[in-house]
Amino acid sequence: MAKAAKRITGDEAAGLVQSGMWLDYGAVLGQPDVFDAALAKRLGTVTNLRFRSVLTARPRAVLEADAEGKHVHWFSTHFSGYDRRKHDAGMAHYLPVNLGEVPDYYRRFIDPIDIVVFKAAPMDAQGFFNFGPNTLWMRALVERGKTIIVEETPNLPYVMGEGTGVHVSEVDYIIPGSDGPLAELPKAPASDVDKAVARLIAQEVEDGSCLQIGIGGMPNAVCSLLAESPVSDLGIHTEMMTDGIVDLFRAGRVTGAKKQINPGKMVCTFALGAQYLYDFLDHNPQVEFHPVDYTNLPHVIMQNDKVVAINNTTQIDLQGQAASESDGFRHISGTGGQLQFMRGAYASRGGKSFMCLASTYDKRGERRSRIVTALTRGNVVTTPRTDIMYVVTEYGIVNLKGRSIAERAKLLISIAHPDFREELERDAYEHRLIPRGFF
């Protein structure tokens, strides 16, 4: 006999929490607000609380209430800017993952969770609460949670696809959520460098290509250029649905007609952007949300032909190792789906992967090269040298597949900022990355 979910208040739900518990706040826009605020009032009465989540989109009341970090331990599988600030303050911790493997981690390696609480759209006629644009590993959380609490949120978009909801029979408690606006991610403006990189990538995108596009100024610039180009019948199989992809669809460039799997559908696992993105997703059958172990695993990605994966990095060495998630020992973001999409795109028939970066950056008023002889001490390798295909800066595009270390070094130096090329070449010879007399 199915259990009956009980409707309670946020304060009553927070009253279920005991010291030492593991809680899971779900993901991105699905992190609870009402429950979070209620639990923050109990800190001190309850202590040693441990939370898992990903990409915190707005400040968390429990973290703000625990200013000295005495009661809350926050674990994230991918940092947002807020998570990063809390990590800098010693209150947040990174959990290294390939994002597409996370459902398996919960099912195989993570102990059952004391309380799982997340936002969901109001219950539909079939008794399902829709996760909204936060499918990711939510089904795995429901399976592994000892107590499931739904924060019923009226303004959360109702998304279509697989694994997008939880039935009321699987829920223990329902609490009323806020009807306030959802967190938005401002669209990063494209710089001249972003546009130069985007032009090089856009020239490589063919009719019928299936795109994975990340977030930021460079991916936005790629979308804008493709929207103005004559390219046709693009497909979307991506991790994150963004404003730029919506713009590309509205420009008529995306049909999905040439996709081998999920033809005619834009496939993703979560979304973050402006309100017009959320409005576009609501009850839209042209967009299919799937669990992240469908969107991100290479053996699924490769089933579409001409997959084009476009990702950013912050530093790359002369052997081709890309460090995309840290600045030395300071953690910035996460591995996310970068490595898995790079591999899936390469394995796709006619597929291409692009690692994008500006040639330089400024740090403490000093201009530095992002292409370096050796990675900064402590920097994490997100994508190994063996997986790198195209590397793109504003100075050009090179393909490292099938290239020796010496060839890679020469190619990468050729797209570094001109002010740093002589020094990079000198270092490469000194450290025998390029042997003397090499052609």
Kind of pairing between the strands at 307-312 and 22-24? unpaired
* SS3 at position 153: coil
CB 149 within 8 A of CB 124: no
Q: Measured between alpha carbons, how far is 165 from 117 in angstroms, rounded to an integer? A: 14
Closest CA to 218 of 314, 348, 131: 314
Contacts of 239 (CB under 8 A, 6+ apart): 99, 212, 214, 268, 269, 270, 292, 295, 296, 336, 337, 341
Q: Measured between alpha carbons, how far is 82 from 55 in angstroms, rounded to an integer? A: 8
Q: Measured between alpha carbons, how far is 63 from 56 in angstroms, rounded to an integer? A: 11
Which one from 239, 288, 325, 394 is the annotated catalytic residue?
239
Q: Measured between alpha carbons, how far is 198 from 187 in angstroms, rounded to an integer? A: 16
252: number of Cβ within 10 Å: 10
Amino acid at 200: L
The CA-CA-CA angle for residues 388, 289, 34, to 5°, reads 110
Q: Measured between alpha carbons, how far is 335 from 24 in angstroms, rounded to an integer? A: 20
Whether 228 is catalytic is no
The CA-CA-CA angle for residues 431, 437, 439, to 5°, reads 105
Contacts of 417 (CB under 8 A, 6+ apart): 359, 360, 369, 371, 393, 395
DSSP code per residue over 282-343? TT-TTEEE--HHHHS-HHHHTTSSSEEEEEE-SEEETT--EE-SEETTEE-S--TTHHHHHH
Active site residues: 239
